Structure 1
Amino acid sequence: MKIIIAGAGEVGYHLAKLFSYEAHDIMLIDVDEERLAYADKNLDIQTIEGDATSPQLLMQANAPYVDLVIAVTSNQSININVCIFAKQLGAKRTIARVRSQELISKKLKINLKEIGIDEVISPEYLAADEIKLLLNQSGFTDTFEFDEGALKMIGVTLRSKASFIGKTVQEAAEVYPGLHFIPIAIQRHGTQYTIIPRGDTAFKRGDLVYFVTDDEGVEELYNLTGAEKRIIKNVMILGGSNIGKMLAKELSECKYNVKLIEKNERKAFEIADDIPDVLVINEDGRNVSLLEDENISKMDAFISVTGNSETNIMSSLVAKTKKVKKTIALVENMDYFQLSHNMGINTFVNKKLIAANDIFRFIRKGNLMAMTKLNNMNAELLEFQVKKNSKICNRKIVDIDFPRTSVVGGVIRDGKGEIALGDFVIKEDDRLVICCLPKSIKRVEKLFS
């Protein structure tokens, strides 16, 4: 695909990096010469220095002939204008990064597609949404929902209490028949190698295992993996960033008891005025004595979403020493993901990765409905819709030539999730959730094309 990315900041650079790995034709535009020089040096892409809202510059970037334009600068107005102009020039599809919740809301009366914007994304909104989901499934390290929860992806580290440690996938299935979940990826403790489990793959203590499950399977996973089910009621948020403010508002509306700490006086008072049900404290949250004075040890969850990754990590570690059940830190450096479990922090959240996941589905082939990359794993979870002429339609799963480095996690039929085994017959309009390693993606895509 030919793709233009406007904005070489954190999100834009990360997207350019991911897309370039897949041999897409990328043009990166930014006004910052240093950012472009860094991208040009480290990535196999083309760059143009200048204002992406200039129709002349967009023509220079071949906007009339591109498949996708992604505007992800830090300025919402610039992103909207880039998409409008690019669409007018002939770009096939446009995506704009926005900050306003109003533009993301389904209640918006303006038809954005009519003015040239096909999709809007907000990394902050997506990150806040993921954190809310993590609080709802507080015993697990990672979660993702397909079709409003018809199927769920859940990540959990196997403790000594897990009843199927030492058993193979096949043995576990025989001992616990009729379960409502299936393992889709495993990372051995102390390694970075991703395993797509087969029947003879054994579960080991310390494994980070991802499962696909329906609602009934969530309870089963709590019981069988030894994960501790925690009730979250009292939440402390460090940082009045867009994510912090959005999260505080939504959690308070869901009847959580929320404390928010923000050191900037003006911002703290603005948040207090906007969200009267949230206790806002105008102090520096890096002060351990302050956290103790605000009863951090009585919190069920601590969420650090300041603009500084190191602050978020260190404050979460302090919370962990105070016996806080669930700690979540917003980080910008992808390398930190490999350290999260060793550090003792329950979950790291990276808005770049979340935004990239949301955008990636627009470049996948084969009627892709949703996708996510598994944290700290070299694997993707993809949801495809089956069309009448798809190669897999009206066939049993066991008879389909899926790559060995891929696995069917489940099927959504008529809005209901099912854990589908080998004799399950796939029908038109089914939605299949498939986990696969990068080398298998093109083969999997062809099955749905």
Structure 2
Amino acid sequence: MKIIIVGCGKVGAALTAQLSREDNLVTVIDTDSIVVRNVSNTYDVMGIVGNGASYQVLQEADIEHADLMIAVTKSDEMNLLCCVIAKQAADCHTIARVRNPMYREEREFIRKKLGLSMIINPEHAAAMEMARLLRFPSAIEIDSFSRGRIEMLRFKVPETSKIVHMSLRELAGALQYSLLVCAVERNGEVYIPDGNFVIQAKDSLSIITTPQNAESLFKKIGVHTNKVHNTMIVGGGEITYYLAKSLANMNVDVKIIEKNKDRCEVLSEALPDATVIYGDGSDQELLKEERIQNMDSFVACTDMDEENIILSLYAKEKVSSKVVTKINHLEFNDVIHSLNLDSLIYPKHITAEYILQYVRAMKNSIGSNVETLYKLMEDRVEALEFIVNQNCRMIGIRLQDMKTRPNLLVAAINRQGKVIIPGGQDSFEAGDSVIIVTTETGLQDIHEILAE
């Protein structure tokens, strides 16, 4: 596919890296010549210095033959204008990053009227992921499939858990519960396990379950759910606004600490159910005064990664259930993960994930398409949801008769709202949504799960 990316910031660079790696012909546009040169040289893509809303610049990027234009500059209005001009210049798909909450309620109206394929709001997407984690704090990470009917939860196995030293085959029998462990991270190594895999303490397990069964399942395996009743958020940006609104609907008490007085007034008016404190959230005495030690959960959501990390390390010793840390930059992942923080949220990574999902769906063959895509365990594992179409040649073949790629697992089937944890006798039917977990990244069609 021929793809034009306008804006070479963190999201633009992350998209360029992934899309160029998947054999797409990528052209990047930015007004900063140094940034364009760095991105084009690093990822071996074509770079153009200029305004992405200029028809002349888009012509130089060969917009007439482009399949997709993605606008991820710092300005919402610029992104929308880029997409409008691209639609007028060529019959291509367009995606715009739009962050201002003012446009949130009008998102579908704007998308339809301007003819956009997709609008992505990274702050709202990050806030929804944080809300899922606070709803189920025992999990390190929660990914949702089939419009919320299926969830993949990642958690660390406590040393006291009854499942330590059990094989996965023994685990299924002992729990008398339909459970599938999709992926395991142990000492920096990632495994797609089979029934003989033996669980050890401190393993990071990713399991497939339904939201209704998650709590009872965690109780059975000896992991406390620790429901959250209150939370403290440091930083009053747009993510905090969306998160506080979502938590209010979950009857969670919210306390926000923000050091900008004007922003405090805006938040107080917009969030009547939240307590907004004017002050410096990095002040240890203020945190004590606001009773951080009585909080169930804590969210470090300032604009500075260093401050978020330090606050989270401090909060881990104080709060009872959950600490969530927002990370803005994608570099130094190894260092950040070595700090043993609780749950990390990367808004820019989430944005790139959503857009990559759409690109893969565009490239699908007639057998299926990518409905959902998550990159797990520092991008070493992908969990994909495919919709099986009527002309898929894999329909009716039992899973035990399929020769699938190594390090790949058929994790779940959603059939008309019924969730199936598949065994060897199960097969695909038209209309199924199928979840695949694999270390083979870049799959675009369900037929690609088969071994060559």
Normalising by structure 1, what TM-score? 0.93
Q: Secondary structure at the match of 1:434?
A: strand
| Equivalent position of 1:392 in the other structure | 394
Say which of 248, 251, 258 aligns to 1:262.
258
Percent of residue pairs bearing the same amino acid type: 29
Letter in 1 for 2:270: D
In structure 1, C-alpha distance between the alignment counterparts of 2:372 and 2:104, rounded to whole Å = 17
In structure 1, C-alpha distance between the alignment counterparts of 2:49 and 2:212, rounded to whole Å = 53
* Aligned-pair CA distance for 1:103: 4.2
* Aligned-pair CA distance for 1:77: 0.5
Aligned residues: 444
* Aligned-pair CA distance for 1:371: 0.9
Q: Secondary structure at the match of 1:276?
A: coil
Q: Secondary structure at the match of 2:310?
A: helix
Q: Secondary structure at the match of 1:367?
A: strand
Are 1:154 and 2:153 matched, yes or no? yes
Are 1:343 and 2:339 matched, yes or no? yes
In structure 2, C-alpha distance between the alignment counterparts of 1:284 and 1:89, rounded to whole Å = 49
RMSD: 2.1
* Gaps in structure 2 of 5+ consecutive residues: none
In structure 2, C-alpha distance between the alignment counterparts of 1:339 and 1:136, rounded to whole Å = 28
Say which of 198, 206, 211 aligns to 2:207.
211
Letter in 2 for 1:233: H
1:58-99, Cα deviation, whole Å (9 max, x unpaired)? 111111211211111111011111111112222421111001
Of the structure 1 ranges 252-261 and 147-156, higher mean CA displacement relative to structure 2 is found in 252-261
Q: 1:270 to 1:207 in 2, by over 3 A?
A: same
Say which of 246, 251, 256 aligns to 2:247.
251
| Equivalent position of 1:60 in the other structure | 60
In structure 2, C-alpha distance between the alignment counterparts of 1:312 and 1:231, rounded to whole Å = 23
| Equivalent position of 1:35 in the other structure | 35
Letter in 2 for 1:285: G
In structure 2, C-alpha distance between the alignment counterparts of 1:100 and 1:257, rounded to whole Å = 25
1:127-183, Cα deviation, whole Å (9 max, x unpaired)? 001000111111110001112321100001111223222222223234334x23211
Say which of 422, 439, 443 aligns to 1:437.
439
Letter in 1 for 2:180: I
Q: Secondary structure at the match of 1:412?
A: strand
Q: Does the 8 Å CA contact 1:181/1:214 hold for their aligned counterparts?
A: no
1:324-349, Cα deviation, whole Å (9 max, x unpaired)? 42100100233555456653421010
Letter in 1 for 2:234: L
In structure 2, C-alpha distance between the alignment counterparts of 1:300 and 1:323, rounded to whole Å = 5
Q: Does the 8 Å CA contact 1:71/1:97 hold for their aligned counterparts?
A: yes
Are 1:23 and 2:8 matched, yes or no? no
| Equivalent position of 2:375 in the other structure | 373
Q: Secondary structure at the match of 2:443?
A: helix
Q: Secondary structure at the match of 1:29?
A: strand
- What is the 5 A alignment of 1:317-328? 317-328=313-324
In structure 2, C-alpha distance between the alignment counterparts of 1:258 and 1:215, rounded to whole Å = 23
Letter in 1 for 2:149: A
In structure 1, C-alpha distance between the alignment counterparts of 2:73 and 2:52, rounded to whole Å = 10
In structure 1, C-alpha distance between the alignment counterparts of 2:415 and 2:226, rounded to whole Å = 31
- What is the 5 A alignment of 1:25-424? 25-101=25-101, 103-105=103-105, 110=109, 112-177=111-176, 179-188=177-186, 190-191=187-188, 193-335=189-331, 337-338=333-334, 342-364=338-360, 365=364, 366-424=368-426
Letter in 2 for 1:368: V
In structure 1, C-alpha distance between the alignment counterparts of 2:403 and 2:284, rounded to whole Å = 56
